Structure 1
Amino acid sequence: MSTWVKEYGKKLCTPDQAVGVVKSGDWIIYSYAANTLPVLDMALAKRTPELKDIQLLAGVSMRPHAIVKADPRGEHFTWDCVHFSAIDRKYYEMGRAFYVPLRYSEVPRYILENLSHVDVLMVQVSPMDQHGNFNLGPTISHYRASADRAKTVIVEVNEDMPIAHGGYGNYLHVSEVDYIVEGGHTGMPQIPTTPITSVDRQIAQYVLEDLRDGDCIQLGIGAMPNALGQMIAESDLKDLGVHTEMLVDSYVDMWNAGRISCRKKQIDRGRMVYTFAGGTQKLYDFIDNNPQVAGYPVDYTNDRYIASRNDNLVSINNALEIDLSGQVCSETIGPRMISGAGGQLDFVDAAYNSKGGRSFICMESTFTCAEGKQHSRIRPLLTEGAVVTDTRPMVQYVATEYGKVNLKGATTWQRAERLINLAHPDFREELIKEAEKLRIWRRSNK
């Protein structure tokens, strides 16, 4: 029997024994993205009545949590979230979740330097290999930094977790783990592809026209980036590279269609680089034991200097609204949290600093509110309470279903003019009047 197998046996325990180390006032690094904790979550939820002031650092939830159901008013557990999914947004609407404003690239440093203490790391992993390693599967993100900082490390073993190659920081060794809980076959969260609309396809088409063979692609979250991925798969582009924060199903489609080779990249040549993945089973199967896919901590993937070392880095992300000066909000509707900064600003910056790189902010020109009224996403000023995700000097290309424009180097009147041309026709005259009031309308084309 190997040394690592013996050590595994000594640290193996029940879920109740593992969560027994948690005490009131603890900070816990909890579930993130596809690395959920179905077994430990249930065990911790049972302890709700006896615990208070527990801070849980989590984000991009892909499964509901038993601890939230057990504590709907947040009297015992506080959900501190570095990025919202639809589930986290529901917790926020319940008054149960609070956002941590950070660029995604900064999360490891935040854990190492800014948290007063990290008492427990709970993380889902693959079964231990013969060398004593637990693989982190599809979520590398900030777990290496978390393990370095945490006083106690608890792993929940999922027999269905894919084995993800790195990079680095994609595994934990049994020697640095304190408690091991065997979760059995708990599956992987399945994130179905968002339905693609004709507007999504039109916006994606404008971006597709600007793509070239050998570009290195970063796609954000949402229907439009996914539409672009599917359209790339159907195109005749070739030798595309991948350096992204999130890996989604459309990358598998692009790979299977022969569009991606990663052979033109300047770093991590031949490998698709990401920090977390979420999608359907075909994505997890694609990652599993695939040496052409490399998972890294987020302070590698999203670092401007590292990402921009790849020439022709193209960043494609969604937004909620933009004002006529070019300020982009991708996080809130007014003061109401919807998402988070995530890595959008990281890649907007990295793409522009890449040789030949391009950054695209994409959005449908309008949205319909709960009362059934149509509103423009292109506004004179951002909605009161809205958060600026991308400052106006950072923004390069903007695209709606009415076209795309480049704002880099444009004056305030040029920005207003170009953005109004991207607005829905029903709102253009009103936007011109508001631009005049703001003294940014020159009437060169109207």
Structure 2
Amino acid sequence: MSKVKELYQEKLRTSEEVLNLIHDGDFIVVSIGEPPALLTALSEHRWEFNDVKIAQILSQKKFDYIDPETVDHVRQVSLFFGAATRLGGQQGWIDYIPSCFSEMPSMFRNELLPVDTFFSLASPMDEHGYFSISLGTDYSMAALEKATTIVLEVNPNAPFAYGNNLVHISQVTAIVEDNSPIYEVGLPAIGPVQEAIGGYVADFIKDGSTLQIGLGGIPDAVVMQLTTKHDLGIHTEMFGDGILRLIESGAVTNRKKNYLPNKMVATFALGSKKLYDYMNRNPQLEMHPVDFTNDPYLAGLNDNLITINGTMQVDFLGQCCSESLGCVPYSGTGGQVDFVRAGNRSKGGKSFIVLPSTAKNGQISRIVPTLTPGAVVTTSKNDVNYVVTEYGVAQLRGKSAKQRAQELIAIAHPDFRGELTETAKQMKLL
């Protein structure tokens, strides 16, 4: 038996045995690649711990430890609220730590955030002793550097991807094996509003452009309208099924990328089994830490970089609230600011903020004179460039406050344009 295989067998544990490595007061960091066996075991034994915190950017499954009755034992600390954690954040029993996605690794390295234990899903070990944590490379490599205890949940369904996402058996404290199907996420529903917005953005995308596609139905609606394009490239945060469809159409070749040509680059993956199978040992794809993929300077080295991200509300100056409903938390900053700035830096690049013109079945305008009191400014007025609704495109950079108000009112829902115009006059913008 080889040395790496011997190490593997020495470090193999059950999920329950791993819990003996966790101590009261520990701070556990979990990658986006959730290890279900480990988190299920921790859930089942959560009453045995005190003041254990679990930090994660995008919880996908609502494990039982996400429980208001047991927060004194195990408490979630969210870096970005999702469906599993949103209610707890709104009710105050889940903590929230704001940060741009690209800066999270430095927060761990500079010990602004503690790391006692690190958990992640991982591919099977290769013959050289390396595992791939491809589904959640994100801040994981930085957390690994600081963690005292490193536990990988090895699953034969997890892809082995290239890039800076490999962990050697010598770095690992314990191994848990599990063969459950990997968590899958389907494509979001796309309706006529999303299609209209997608069409406007698609018109700006030329053959040979490099794409960053954010989460949500509107970014995916853009992707669906790019299948006739040629020689597109991918430098993105999330690798998902929308991008996979674009690849399968033949529109993506990465040949025209001037930064990392012939390579797709991402930091985490979320989608279907088909997507995960596609990732496995695919030489065209590299998964890298988020301080590489989302660094505005590095991403902006791609000429003609097109970035597409959703928001919830935009005011007359162009301030974008993408993470709260007034003062009520909804999601988080994520990588939106990173890629807006990257698109602005890119030669020939464009950054798009996309949103439906209304909310609550047309009762509320998402284009507003000022953000709702308490709303979080995600993308600042100084960074935002293109804003797109189903009624058109507003281009804001280089425009005065008056011009911005005019541009944004023009893409608001017609039912609200009169009211918005009157308010703009009262604000001395028109």
Checking the alignment, whether the CA contact within 8 Å between 1:41 and 1:65 is kept in structure 2 is: yes
- Measured after TM superposition, the shift of residue 12 of structure 1 is 1.1
The C-alpha deviation readout for 1:200-256, integer Å capped at 9, x for no partner, is: 0001101111110110000110000011111112xx210011100011111111111
Separation in 1, partners of 2:365, 2:225: 26
Contact 2:39 2:63 in 1 (8 A): yes
Query: What's the counterpart of residue 91 of structure 1?
Result: 88
**Distance in 2 between the 1:117 and 1:366 partners?**
41
Counterpart residue number, 2:404: 415
The separation in 1 between residues aligned to 2:325 and 2:275, in whole angstroms, is 31
| Alignment partner, residue 240 of structure 2 | 248
Residue 311 in structure 1 maps to residue 303 in structure 2? yes
| Whole-angstrom CA distance in 2 between matches of 1:101 and 1:154 | 26
SS in 1 for 2:21: coil
Q: Which one-letter code corresponds to 2:284 in the other structure?
A: Q
What amino acid is aligned across from residue 213 of structure 1 in structure 2?
Answer: D
Give the corresponding residue for 1:16: 16
- Is 1:209 aligned to 2:203, yes or no? yes
Question: For residues 10 and 277 of structure 1, what CA distance do their matches in structure 2 show?
Answer: 30
Question: What is the correspondence of 1:262-273 to structure 2 with a 5 Å cutoff?
Answer: 262-273=254-265
Distance in 2 (alpha carbons) for counterparts of 1:290 and 1:103 = 29
Identity %: 38
Aligned residue number for residue 401 of structure 1? 390
In the other structure, the counterpart of 1:42 is: 40
* 1:327-342 to 2 correspondences below 5 Å: 327-342=319-334
Partners of 1:326 and 1:391 within 8 A in 2: yes
Aligned length: 430
Write the deviation string for residues 368-423 of structure 1: whole angstroms up to 9, x where unpaired.
Answer: 0xxx6710000010001100011101111111011002101100100001100011
1:314-369 per-residue CA deviation (whole Å, 9 max, x = no partner) reads: 0011100000111111010101111111000000000010000000011000000x
CA RMSD of the aligned region, Å? 1.3
Q: Of 366, 379, 386, which residue of structure 2 is paired with 1:390? A: 379
> How far does the alpha carbon of each residue in 1:277-317 deviate from its partner, in whole angstroms, 9 at most, with x for none?
10112211211111101100000000011101110000011
**2:209 and 2:114 mapped to 1: Cα distance?**
42
Within 5 Å, which residues of 2 pair with 1:19-418?
Answer: 19-30=19-30, 32-33=31-32, 35-69=33-67, 72-93=69-90, 95-115=92-112, 117-166=114-163, 168=164, 170-183=165-178, 185-233=179-227, 236-368=228-360, 374-418=363-407
Q: Is the 1:72–1:96 Cα contact (8 Å) retained in structure 2? A: no
Give the TM-score normalised by structure 1.
Answer: 0.94
**Worse-superposed segment, 318-327 or 76-85:** 76-85
Give the deviation of 1:158 after TM superposition.
Answer: 1.2
Change (3 A) 1:320 1:157: same
CA contact (8 A) 1:216 1:243 kept: yes
2-structure distance, mates of 1:205, 1:11? 53
2: CA distance between counterparts of 1:399 and 1:373? Answer: 17
Counterpart Cα distance in 2 of 1:94 and 1:437: 37
Report the alpha carbon displacement of residue 94 of structure 1 after superposing the two structures with TM: 5.1
> Which whole-Å CA distance do the structure 1 matches of 2:198 and 2:262 have between them?
26
Residue of structure 2 equivalent to 1:435: 424
1:57-109 CA distance string (max 9 Å, x none): 1121222213225x645222221111122222133245432221100000100
CA–CA separation in structure 2 for the residues paired with 1:49 and 1:284: 35
Q: Which amino acid aligns with 1:413?
A: K
* Paired residue secondary structure (1:68): coil
SS at match of 1:67: coil
Secondary structure of 1:87's counterpart equals coil
8 Å Cα contact 2:313/2:321 also seen in 1? yes
Answer yes or no: is the 8 Å Cα contact 1:138–1:287 preserved in 2: no
Shift of 1:116: 5.5
Unaligned 5+ runs, structure 1: 442-446
- 5+ residue gaps, structure 2, are none
- Give yes or no for contact 2:212–2:234 (8 Å, CA) kept in 1: yes
> Would the aligned equivalents of 2:131 and 2:160 in 1 still touch at CA under 8 Å?
no
Q: Secondary structure at the match of 1:56?
A: strand
TM-score normalised by L of structure 2: 0.97
- 2: CA distance, partners of 1:393 / 1:15: 48
Distance 1:88 1:266 in 2: 39
